[in-house]
A and B are shown apart, each in its own frame.
Chain A
């Protein structure tokens, strides 16, 4: 059904010779970090009046679920409701440091911008994102470098406790298993409650306590954290 309605929309656009047009995209994402994992991505072409996130604005509960726990189901429902073209979990799991994933996306003519979000692990509410990139009508290969954001929804306590879902402090886990345990926590405050550039994690070298369960020599990063190459066919 979904494909059928998309085809109908495409022919309508062809008849009306609109400026915007359906696009056939090949998308490659590379994790540029040395020690940070990306949870399953949600990638979508959608209308330009919607956003998965906006810097300087409070996160939606759907973004919060991704940034704190890597759960893309709520965002997927939201995007389906606005007829977005969606790719979920192209890496079929975590995208490890240095790893790349490739996927394809066909966008309907009304879905003129591309966005994506994935949580950074181990962080409290860090995510990598692309917000509303205008899909070019000109065929070609476009490369962008993506930054790490903080959803502004959870204190960056840097305590790894299998928690971290909305309403629960802490970091779910470090897939690379280089974390410590028993930290007292870096902070319990999250004063900037809007999406902002992540200030990075601090970590320490005490894996049996200290302030942070993160390792200052393994879990830090500098921007950019991801490279995305989009081929418009």
Chain B
């Protein structure tokens, strides 16, 4: 019983307590007093999240989806967390999804290419007012990522959908050198996450890649890797 943390469950427990009189955490008491059919069953709340990659030549890392009740995974103008840096530089969302503020999470199982759509489902019990955040790296870049930051799901009833677009952010943790060995995506196969920070050290909207075709002779990127906003189309459907 002490695991119930949501208003619905708490209210139900309070009513039980009132009906049944004194109640304690003692197991013997519970056996005597609680009738099985009165125990509230957890109710699953599930969101199907689909992300379509709208770029020409930027595969995206497996999408990470987090449900949380507070906080933001990043703030423009603020230094990126180490967990965000790992995702934005190397495409690994596991540390970000393991943050203590995350109540439930889901991840895609593979990168998805230009034009492709990746869908994951995230489920939480008894909570209908979660915030949803989403992240994915544009892997043919130094530290570009796209996503949603703490979208409020409280008004989304079962069966409802939310759709929107997202642009590209720059984690500000790795200089956009575009040089060989610095980009983890298939164009380079270089280093992903590197804890050293050699850029502005704040999150901003991404200025775009320059590419060798636009005068950056040291870039391994070509015109094909350029992108503009928005970079993804997102559909969130509450399925239950």
Interface residues of A (CB under 8 A from B): 30-35, 97-100, 200, 202-205, 216-225, 227
B200 adjacent to A98 (CB under 8 Å): yes
The 11 sampled A-B contact pairs (Cβ below 8 Å) are A33-B207, A34-B206, A35-B207, A98-B77, A202-B215, A205-B215, A216-B215, A216-B216, A217-B178, A224-B167, A225-B205
A35 to B210: give the CA distance in the assembly, Å. Answer: 14
Enumerate chain B residues within 8 angstroms of A203, measured Cβ to Cβ: 210
- Shortest Cβ gap from A141 to chain B (Å): 12
Interface residues of B (CB under 8 A from A): 76-78, 167-168, 170, 172, 175-178, 200, 202-208, 210, 214-218, 228-229
Enumerate chain B residues within 8 angstroms of A216, measured Cβ to Cβ: 210, 214-216
A216 to B211: give the CA distance in the assembly, Å. Answer: 10
Identity of the chain B residue whose Cβ is nearest the Cβ of A215 in the assembled complex: B210
Enumerate chain A residues within 8 angstroms of B78, measured Cβ to Cβ: 98
Enumerate chain B residues within 8 angstroms of A217, measured Cβ to Cβ: 175-178, 210, 216
Identity of the chain A residue whose Cβ is nearest the Cβ of B210 in the assembled complex: A216
A220 adjacent to B207 (CB under 8 Å): yes
CB contact under 8 A between A222 and B216, given known A30-B76, A30-B77: no
A100 to B214: give the CA distance in the assembly, Å. Answer: 32
B172 adjacent to A34 (CB under 8 Å): yes
Identity of the chain B residue whose Cβ is nearest the Cβ of A227 in the assembled complex: B76
A35 to B199: give the CA distance in the assembly, Å. Answer: 11
Enumerate chain B residues within 8 angstroms of A98, measured Cβ to Cβ: 76-78, 172, 200, 202-204
Enumerate chain A residues within 8 angstroms of B202, measured Cβ to Cβ: 97-98
B207 adjacent to A222 (CB under 8 Å): yes
Option from B167, B170, B216 in Cβ contact (under 8 Å) with A34 = B170
Identity of the chain A residue whose Cβ is nearest the Cβ of B168 in the assembled complex: A222
Closest A-B pairs by Cβ, 7 of them = A98-B77, A34-B204, A32-B205, A220-B207, A98-B202, A216-B210, A222-B208
